[in-house]
Structure 1
Amino acid sequence: MRIERTYNATPERVWELWTTSAGIESWWAPDGFTVTVDKLDLRPGGELVYTMTATAPEQIEFMKGAGMPLATVSRKTFVEVNEPGALGYNSLADFIPDVEPYEFLTEIDIRAVHGGTRVTMTMEAMHDAVWTERLTAGRTNELDNLGKVIGA
C-alpha cells in the first residue's frame, strides 16, 4: 500500500516531526488516541517504543469490543535512517488477539518538490484484509494529522 502527501514545509521540518519524541507525540496517533514516546534510538537497528492510548469514547468502545487493552505498547525497529530523505522501520504486530506476533515493513520517502515536501509512505500488508484496511486508514489519518501540525 502507498500513501502520498505534499506538505508546505521543508524536508528538514518533516524529518524533525517524524524523528523526535516531541514531533512524534504531536501527530503520530490516529484521531481518538494519544501517543507517548517511551524510547527513541534513531539508527539502523535502533528502536522506537511508544504507548498508544485510546482516549475518545468511540475508540475506547472499539478497543473494549475487540478484546484489546485501551493502551498498547508498540515497537518499531529502524532498518533505514537517511536524514532527511528516507526512513524505514519494521513494526511488531504483537497486540492482535489470536494472531502470532509478526513484523511488517514501512518505508518513508521525503523529497523536496515545488511547493513543499512530498512524503510517500509504503507499507507491507498485514495478516489479513481487515487489518490491512485498518492500517491504511490509521496511517492516512496520521498523515492528515501531520499536515495539521505543519499548518499550525
Structure 2
Amino acid sequence: MTVIDTTKDVDALTVTLTARFDAPPERVWQVWEDPRLLERWWGPPTYPATVLEHDLSPGGRVHYLMTGPGGDQHHGWWRVHEVAAPERLVFEDGFADENGTPTEDGLVTRAEVALRAEQGGTVMTVTSTFPSAEVMEQMSAMGMIEGITEAMNQIDGLLAA
C-alpha cells in the first residue's frame, strides 16, 4: 500500500497523508506535473478525474472534474501558490462550477506537498489545512480522507508503468 500514515489533527485543522514510493522524487513529481498522469490518480477509483486546465506555476490554476459511477460530475479547482520542483507544491483546492469558477461554499483547503528522497525512493507528505473545524468536519464527513487515500494509492501503478 502506498499511503503509510494518515494523521488528523483537529487542533491544527490539518489532515496529513504520508506515502512511500519506489521511485526518485523527480519521477514522483511527474504525477503532479503531467496532467495526463494527474488525472489517472487524482480522483478515487470510482470517481476518476479529467484535467481540463493545468498551469502548475505560481499564480496558475488547475480545473478538473471527477465523474462518479452514475455519471454525476463534480468540478474542482486549484490556485497554485508555490512550485519548487521536484520537492514542494502548495495550492488551494476547492469545488467549482462547470466553468471552473470557485463556488462560494467555503469548502477550500490549502494543500502542501513535500517530496523527499529516502532509502532509494521517495516519501511524499500531503498536508491539507482547513479554514475552520466546521469545514474540516464537513469535508471529513463527505469522505475526503478516504477519497484522497484511495486516490494516492493509485500512484504506485503509474510509477511502475
Give TM class, smaller chain: 0.7 to 0.9
Whole-angstrom CA distance in 2 between matches of 1:122 and 1:72: 22
Deviation at 1:122, TM superposition (A): 0.4
In the alignment, is residue 142 of structure 1 matched against residue 151 of structure 2?
Answer: yes
Asked whether the equivalents of residues 94 and 102 of structure 1 are also in contact (C-alpha less than 8 Å), the reply is: no
Deviation at 1:102, TM superposition (A): 4.1
Residue identity opposite 2:126 in structure 1? M
Whole-angstrom CA distance in 2 between matches of 1:23 and 1:84: 15
In the alignment, is residue 105 of structure 1 matched against residue 110 of structure 2?
Answer: yes
Whole-angstrom CA distance in 1 between matches of 2:118 and 2:65: 33
What is the aligned length?
137
Question: Which of residues 87, 90, 93 is equivalent to 1:91?
Answer: 93
- Structure 1: give runs of 5+ residues left out of the alignment: 61-68
User: Which residue of 2 is the match for residue 117 of structure 1?
Assistant: 122
Whole-angstrom CA distance in 2 between matches of 1:102 and 1:4: 23
Greater share of helix: 1
Q: CA-atom RMSD, angstroms? A: 2.0
Whole-angstrom CA distance in 2 between matches of 1:82 and 1:128: 27
| TM-score (ref. length: structure 1) | 0.81
Residue identity opposite 1:138 in structure 2? G
Question: Which of residues 130, 139, 143 is equivalent to 1:131?
Answer: 139
- The alignment partner of 2:135 has SS state of coil
Structure 1 residue runs of 4+, over 6 Å off?
A: none
